[in-house]
Amino acid sequence: MKTNWIAVDWGTTNFRAFLMRHDAPLAELHQPCGLLSVEHQRFAATLQTLLAPWLQAYGALPIVMAGMVGSQQGWFDVPYAPLPAGMDDLLARLFAFTTPWGSPAWIVPGINGRSHYGLPDVMRGEEVQLLGLHALQPTAEHDVLLPGTHCKHARMIKGEIVHFSTFMTGELFSLLSQHSILGRDLPAQQDDDAAFLAGVRTASLGAPFSHLIFSARTRRLAGELPEPYIHSYLSGLTIGYELLALTPGQHVWVIGSPALTTRYRMAGRQMCLELHPVEGNLCFIRGLSELFLRLQGATS
Amino acid sequence: MKTNWIAVDWGTTNFRAFLMRHDAPLAELHQPCGLLSVEHQRFAATLQTLLAPWLQAYGALPIVMAGMVGSQQGWFDVPYAPLPAGMDDLLARLFAFTTPWGSPAWIVPGINGRSHYGLPDVMRGEEVQLLGLHALQPTAEHDVLLPGTHCKHARMIKGEIVHFSTFMTGELFSLLSQHSILGRDLPAQQDDDAAFLAGVRTASLGAPFSHLIFSARTRRLAGELPEPYIHSYLSGLTIGYELLALTPGQHVWVIGSPALTTRYRMAGRQMCLELHPVEGNLCFIRGLSELFLRLQGATS
């Protein structure tokens, strides 16, 4: 039986939903209505408003959600699944409830555990994209990079996430370009590939991060780096520094928007890394479909 | 002949001056009148106002200045001395002028060159403290750490600065505690040595910086780190990360205020580093006195 349902990725700053039929998206909705914009815990009312057209057309459809909606700052604080975690572990820990308007609803748990470096780490939302990648590209092992504000480097064996590490690359770029001395008194910025790649090359030298970034100031002082390209250079520094964690020659999937994966691939080529892009929405939809269809199989 | 003169450390955010007799300070002045607070390039008028009591008492005393006052954003853009640089190089490149009220005045050049990691680097002001340390502790070699917003790690051989590297430790701490997700929604913060040392220990594991700092979030989420101590933990992370650049067992001088050097020594003990504190003002006064007395010897 082909069922309609709704897939939701509800993060801190963005809300994305897909009206689904079986495992295929029929329509998409994208609003800047992240959890930070929800006042007085009005999660149910906000969701009902956002999904109103679909609920009116199809009734109280099942809704499966992932992302920060299941965090301490979200709708329900859904306990993390511990590493290693695969499809069955996430299914076993799905948080199920019924919305005020009668939709059966589920929130996918995040995952916690020790990173590759032995530090405590957490993810919420990326686990769905990782399951999706495994369904789309079913190989025995996957090394995966998910770029963003808080990038994740994950390793999967037979579709099970065995460990992952967070890199605050996107947030550090924002802090340095917007709030530090490196970004002070800059003219309007332009994207420049040469400045970006100069940043990547400089990062490849392996200097400590807190020293590395000062080169955005000294190269500017020395007139080596045109002022409109400082952000491009800083982007190259921060992404290049992150990519030092990978091994040259390693085959790594990069899940994200084309804009981000293109930038990572450009940096990767400079560093002799094979980065293979996969579209982020595709992975999310596929991962959540796998979960929903397994859930349906289990309950029908 | 014992001469009176004025030693000035004029930085981006602070102004510090010493009324000197030969190499001894008679009085000290400290104002938050850094270069950023000087409007419309009124450097001469600002300096005259700040020093008015001494100028009225002693006349148009000689004034020797160091710090960002000699930068692009300062009073005069004094060209850097290139590495390696010692007393003679700084003397040869002193920028001399006469103030509108008739004081003979000099600005010490900063130093530029390649860091230990091969990146372009600059300092302005710290070179005076380094010369002062060599005069106070005349050994053949000095490894020196100068903590602050932009920390410097310098190496001197026979009183000559052979290389140095900047670490943006202080600025990164401010960015992370004030503007990042790691510092969001925190209660009033308290200094806590245990949290600081936990940060140092975590940094010692050697994880990449952009991964390391995320532990301030995950340990908080896991309830391992009390919320009033997050800043102490972040301070330990950033200082510990910087100290990884030193070699265990290495004898390193730390020039700074007692508050800062105490914190660095606490971190250093945890990491088996021998850090020897020297008071920053003492080094500054001694370094600038060496320069001024040599200058006097040359011109009298």
DSSP assigned state of A247: P
Residue A31 reports pLDDT greater than 90: yes
Question: How high is the pLDDT of residue B127?
Answer: 98
Q: Tokens for B267? A: 């971190």
Cα-to-chain-centroid distance, residue A200: 22
Whether the per-residue pLDDT at A49 is higher than 60: the answer is yes
Q: Does pLDDT of B298 surpass 80?
A: no
Do the chains contact at B150 and A119, CB–CB below 8 Å? Answer: no
> What pLDDT sits at residue B144?
98
d(CA A243, CA A223): 27
Neighbour tally for B128: CB within 10 Å: 28
Tokens matching residue A31: 């609003």
Contacts 24+ apart (CB under 8 A), A192-195: A192/A226, A192/A228, A192/A229, A192/A232, A193/A232, A193/A266, A194/A229, A195/A225, A195/A226, A195/A229, A195/A230, A195/A232, A195/A233, A195/A236
> What tens digit of pLDDT does each residue of B192-213 get?
999 999 999 999 999 999 999 9
Size of interface A-B (CB pairs under 8 A): 133
Angle between helices B126-136 and B280-299 (to 10 degrees): 90
Q: Across the interface, do A171 and B150 touch by the CB < 8 Å criterion?
A: no
Give residue A259's pLDDT: 92
Of the two residues A297 and A155, the one the predictor is more confident about is: A155
| pLDDT on residue A300 | 54
Question: What CA–CA distances, in Å, run from A69 to A132, A283, A287, B75, B101?
Answer: 19, 19, 17, 53, 67
Which residues of B are less than 8 Å from A218 in CB distance? 112, 119-122, 166
pLDDT at B299: 62
The mean per-residue pLDDT over the stretch B283-292 comes to 97
pLDDT band for B250, please (50, 70, 90 cuts): confident
Q: Report the distance separating Cα B237 and Cα B215, nearest Å.
A: 9
Nearest-CA distance B105 → chain A (Å): 25
Amino acid at A197: L
Kindly list the residues from chain A whose CB atom is less than 8 angstroms away from the CB atom of residue B119.
202, 205, 207, 211-212, 214-215, 218
pLDDT at B146 over 80: yes
pLDDT of residue A1: 60
pLDDT tier for residue A250 given thresholds of 50, 70 and 90: confident
pLDDT at position B36, please? 86
Of A167, A180, A224, which is closest to B208 when you measure between CB atoms? A167
Nearest to B130 by CA among B242, B234, B280, B233: B280
Q: What is the pLDDT of residues B183-194, one digit of tens each?
A: 999 999 999 999
Question: pLDDT confidence of B249, banded at 50, 70, 90?
Answer: confident
Are B218 and A122 in contact (CB < 8 Å)? yes
User: How many of the other CB atoms lie within 10 Å of CB of A102?
Assistant: 11
What pLDDT score was predicted for residue B73?
87
State phi, psi for A190 to the nearest 5 degrees.
-125, 145
Q: What is the mean pLDDT of residues B3-14?
A: 94
Q: What average pLDDT does the structure give for chain A?
A: 95
Please name every residue paired with B153 in a beta bridge, in sequence order, or none if there are none. Answer: B145, B165
| Phi, then psi, of A112 in degrees rounded to 5 | -130, 165
Of the partner residues A167, A214, A221, the one whose CB lies closest to the CB of residue B150: A214
Summarised one tens digit per residue, pLDDT across range A90-148 is: 999 999 999 999 999 999 999 999 999 999 999 999 999 999 999 999 999 999 999 99
| Residue A139 to chain B, least CA–CA distance (Å) | 27
Q: Does the pLDDT value for residue B277 go beyond 80?
A: yes
CA distance linking residue B131 with residue B136, whole number of Å: 9
What is the pLDDT, as a whole number, of residue B300? 55
Q: Which amino acid is at B231?
A: H
pLDDT at A239: 98
Order of all β-strands in the sheet with B104-107: B24-31, B15-21, B4-10, B63-66, B104-107, B95-98
DSSP A76-91: S-PPPEESSB-HHHHH
**Full strand arrangement of the beta sheet holding A4-10:** A24-31, A15-21, A4-10, A63-66, A104-107, A95-98
* Cβ within 8 Å, pair B209-A209: yes
* Digit-coded pLDDT (tens) for B214-226: 999 999 999 999 9
Please report the pLDDT score of residue B75 as a whole number.
96
CA-nearest residue of chain B to A217?
A: B121
β-strand partners of B160: B157
Distance separating alpha carbons of residues B252 and A189, to the nearest angstrom: 41
Question: Cα distance from A217 to chain B (closest Cα, Å)?
Answer: 9
- Count the Cβ atoms, other than its own, within 10 Å of residue B259: 8
Class of residue A59 by CB neighbours under 10 A (exposed 0-12, middle 13-18, buried 19+): exposed
Q: How far apart are CA A95 and CA A291, in angstroms?
A: 13
| Euclidean distance between CA atoms A206 and B229, whole angstroms | 31
| Cα B181 to Cα B220: distance, rounded to the nearest angstrom | 12
pLDDT in tens, A61-98: 999 999 999 998 899 999 999 999 999 999 999 999 99
pLDDT above 70: residue B154? yes
Query: Tens digits of per-residue pLDDT, B46-91?
Result: 999 999 999 999 999 999 999 999 998 899 999 999 999 999 999 9
The token pair at A118 is: 């032995």
Q: Is B79 helix (H, G, I), strand (E, B) or coil?
A: coil
Residues of B in contact with A244 (CB under 8 A): 208
Contact B213 A168 (CB under 8 A): yes
Question: What average pLDDT does this structure show over B111-120?
Answer: 96
Other C-beta atoms closer than 10 Å to the C-beta of A237 total 27
